Structure formats: C-alpha cells, structure tokens
Amino acid sequence: NSEDVRCKCICPPYKDHSGHIYNKNVSQKDCDCLHVVEPMPVPGPDVEAYCLRCECKYEERSSVTIKVSGVILLA
C-alpha cells in the first residue's frame, strides 16, 4: 500500500527561509532532499547547502496492524 511508506525530510531554517517538514511517497532509494523537497524553496546555487541541512528518513508502517490493534483496544 503506497500510504504505508513515506520519506520525511525535516529542514531547519536557512537564510531567510523558515524551517519546514516535507513528506512524500517515494522509494527508499529516492528518500533524499532532492526527491522530496518540492517546490525547492531556495535558488539553484543554494540547493546543495540547503539539502545538506535537511534530515530525511524513510518510514514504513503497517496500516492493517494499526487497524487491528485499534479494533482490539475498542472491543
């Protein structure tokens, strides 16, 4: 299920741009700033410096397990 995987990038403030969290459904190999941060908030020459500050993590979850656990807790 495509909703069970995502890449989450946390980018701190950079120059005159505030910090931001980006989420996108991409494969694990594409889990980096260049593939997830859209639109890129900085101009071309600053992209590398901006991306080096971002922390990107690939996350997986099982929505079926979450739903079953919810049903058991509510029962």
User: Please, what is the average pLDDT of the chain?
Assistant: 90
More confident residue, 2 or 67: 67
CB neighbours of 57 closer than 8 A, spacing ≥ 6?
7, 8, 9, 31
30-53 residue pLDDT tens: 999 999 999 999 999 999 999 999
pLDDT value at residue 3: 64
**Number of other CB atoms surrounding residue 56 within 10 Å:** 21
Q: How far apart are CA 67 and CA 12, in angstroms?
A: 33
Which pLDDT band, with edges at 50, 70 and 90, does 64 fall under? confident
Give the Cα separation of 68 and 50 in Å (integer): 41
